[in-house]
């Protein structure tokens, strides 16, 4: 009995044990499923919350951009309307710039039968990724890059004809894409031409170039641009903005201004009366917001507002704005690469900058800090507009002033943080000349606290007399007036370097010397 009972007990205990052991299995499985569902729900809730936050932030940013656009648009001046009798000349660095910037103005002018001439400085034949996309291959030959440039020419012809411009009013100079800066600085003379990186030539390979087999030299380009100015005799000249981030664009500004100033010095009446306006294409994330939004106005980037330009808006009727959209879409090689960016220029207005030459004032006495406060800047530069300039504030330009004082020409260079001996500062002064074939310049290298070196266009050191002082966030340079005796002025710009690392570059400006220079 007891054994059976024991066995029963043992048997019962074993059954109970087995029964107890079976509960955790199915319970754990069910519990695991519930926990998995709970984790999934929590993950989904977290993802939905993150998505909601991202959408909310994005919407707020977009709303903030819209508010900025509307506010800035309300403060823009009105671009003077074009009128019968006007002659408009447009210098464009690459095919599509002439449509993105002033394309609507071209259409408005042609509707009034106003004469318009468009001049393409390059054929845009060095846009490697677009060229490879166009030909569906990599490692293109020089001949294929030339063929790509010809495709871009055809796109320009189609787009501008859509805007009402006949082919006879479109000139291709045929100079090298990505080559305008080296042609301006280091390949000025025809005996030392620039060789294009992708087409591997130092002469224009295009049969329709304004100057057949044009030599890739700065003097050659300037001479061609001067000839076009003489032929067209424009009342309105549209050129790239000097603060455009693309090197070909700000170099295009230098060539255009130098060409016009040489004709002024030659005494040509039309050159004295030509109204010069700038158009902007490349500047950081601008234009904002991206994409096709024809109902919105185009406004200048915040970093370039209040920097010496008078920004003006030219309103576009709806049918003209729609025509500009169609024209932009003709640049298929470019639309395939950056559609949203290109269509960002199809708005209900276009903007132009008025950035006239400035004259260095004559100041009585020795200008100390208070006197400098009374001198209007020649150049105002955006601050902290890139990460490297944010980090190295001693190389971040704020502005450049100048004054004639007691027989010396003084320059004050201001930077965002205290002047640093680690940073090298450069001022470029390209003298304005009658002869379009020559280029005279001063390259002034400032090494704080008081070292200064001046070189001419041949790299030779210029005579003694340059002095440098630094105080706080400012460098003060003075040069003997004799260096500028008999000169009208110069194109002025500045650069800064941390060792060999480029930090900042100011925009350029035509600067006249005072008429009472001794």
Q: What pLDDT score does 334 carry? A: 97
Q: Tell me 79's DSSP state.
A: P
CA distance 418 to 240: 33
Laid out side by side, the sheet with 467-471 consists of 379-380, 397-405, 408-415, 474-480, 467-471
pTM of structure: 0.87
CA distance 311 to 305: 8
Q: If residue 475 lies in a helix (H) or strand (E), which one and from where to where?
A: strand 474-480
Helix axis angle, 142-162 relative to 318-329, nearest 10°?
A: 160
CA distance 302 to 61: 15
Q: What pLDDT score does 11 carry? A: 45
CA distance 349 to 73: 10
What is the distance of C-alpha 407 from the center of its chain? 37
Dihedral of CA 37/43/47/48: which sign? positive
Q: If residue 323 lies in a helix (H) or strand (E), which one and from where to where?
A: helix 318-329
The pLDDT tens digits along the chain (518 residues) read 444 444 444 444 444 444 444 555 655 565 566 666 667 677 777 787 788 777 776 655 554 565 566 667 778 999 999 999 999 999 999 999 999 999 999 999 999 999 999 999 999 999 999 999 999 999 999 999 999 999 999 999 999 999 999 999 999 999 999 999 999 999 999 999 999 999 999 999 999 999 999 999 999 999 999 999 999 999 999 999 999 999 999 999 999 999 999 999 999 999 999 999 999 999 999 998 899 999 999 999 988 998 888 999 999 999 999 999 999 999 999 999 999 999 999 999 999 999 999 999 988 765 444 478 888 999 999 887 776 777 789 999 999 999 988 888 999 999 999 999 999 999 999 999 999 888 999 999 999 999 999 999 999 998 789 999 999 999 999 999 999 988 999 999 999 999 999 999 999 999 999 875 55
Does residue 449 have a cis bond before it (omega within 30 degrees)? yes
Does residue 393 have a cis bond before it (omega within 30 degrees)? no
Which of 286, 291, 184, 272 shows the shortest CA–CA distance to 243? 286
């Amino acid at each position: 009995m007891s054994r059976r009972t024991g066995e029963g007990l043992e048997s019962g205990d074993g059954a109970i044990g087995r029964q107890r052991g079976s509960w955790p299995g199915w319970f754990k499985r069910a519990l695991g499923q519930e926990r998995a569902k709970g984790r999934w729900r929590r993950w989904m809730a977290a993802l939905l919350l993150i998505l909601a936050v991202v959408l909310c932030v994005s919407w707020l940013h977009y709303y903030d951009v819209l508010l900025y656009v509307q506010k800035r648009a309300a403060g823009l001046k009105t671009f003077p309307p074009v009128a019968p009798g006007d002659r408009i000349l447009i210098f464009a660095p690459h095919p599509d710039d002439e449509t993105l910037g002033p394309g609507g103005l071209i259409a408005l002018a042609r509707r009034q039968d106003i004469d318009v001439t468009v001049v393409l400085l390059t054929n845009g034949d060095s846009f490697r990724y677009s060229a490879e996309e166009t030909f569906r291959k990599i490692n293109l030959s020089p001949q294929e890059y030339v063929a790509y440039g010809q495709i871009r020419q055809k796109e320009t012809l189609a787009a501008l004809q859509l805007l009402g411009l006949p082919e006879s009013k479109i000139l291709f100079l045929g100079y090298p894409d990505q080559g305008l800066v080296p042609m301006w600085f280091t390949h000025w003379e025809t005996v030392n031409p620039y060789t294009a990186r992708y087409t591997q030539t130092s002469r224009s390979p295009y049969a329709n170039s304004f100057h057949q087999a044009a030599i890739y030299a700065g003097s050659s380009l300037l001479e061609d641009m001067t000839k076009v100015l003489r032929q067209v005799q424009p009342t309105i000249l549209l050129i790239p903005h000097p603060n455009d981030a693309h090197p070909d664009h700000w170099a295009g500004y230098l060539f255009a201004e130098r060409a016009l100033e040489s004709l002024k010095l030659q005494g040509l009446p039309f050159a004295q009366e030509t109204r010069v306006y700038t158009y902007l294409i490349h500047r950081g994330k601008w234009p904002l917001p991206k994409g096709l939004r024809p109902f919105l106005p185009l406004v200048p980037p915040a970093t370039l507002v209040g920097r010496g330009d008078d920004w003006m808006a030219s309103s576009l009727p709806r049918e003209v704005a729609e025509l500009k959209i169609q024209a932009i879409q003709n640049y298929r090689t470019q639309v395939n690469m950056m559609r949203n960016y290109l269509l960002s220029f199809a708005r209900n207005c276009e903007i132009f900058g008025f950035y006239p030459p400035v004259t260095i004032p004559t100041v009585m006495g020795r200008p100390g800090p208070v006197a400098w406060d009374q001198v209007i800047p020649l150049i105002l530069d955006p601050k902290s507009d890139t990460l490297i300039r944010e980090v190295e504030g001693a190389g971040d330009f704020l502005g450049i002033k100048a004054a004639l004082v007691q027989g010396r020409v003084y320059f004050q260079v201001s930077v965002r943080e205290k002047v640093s001996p680690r940073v090298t500062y450069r001022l470029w002064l390209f003298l304005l000349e009658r002869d379009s074939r020559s280029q005279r310049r001063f390259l002034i290298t400032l090494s704080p606290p008081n070292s200064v070196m001046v070189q001419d266009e041949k790299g030779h050191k210029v005579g003694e007399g340059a002095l440098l002082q630094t105080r706080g966030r400012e460098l003060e340079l003075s040069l003997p007036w004799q260096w500028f005796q008999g000169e009208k002025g110069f194109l002025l710009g500045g650069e800064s370097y941390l060792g060999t690392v480029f930090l900042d570059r100011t925009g350029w400006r035509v600067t006249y010397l005072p008429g009472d220079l001794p």
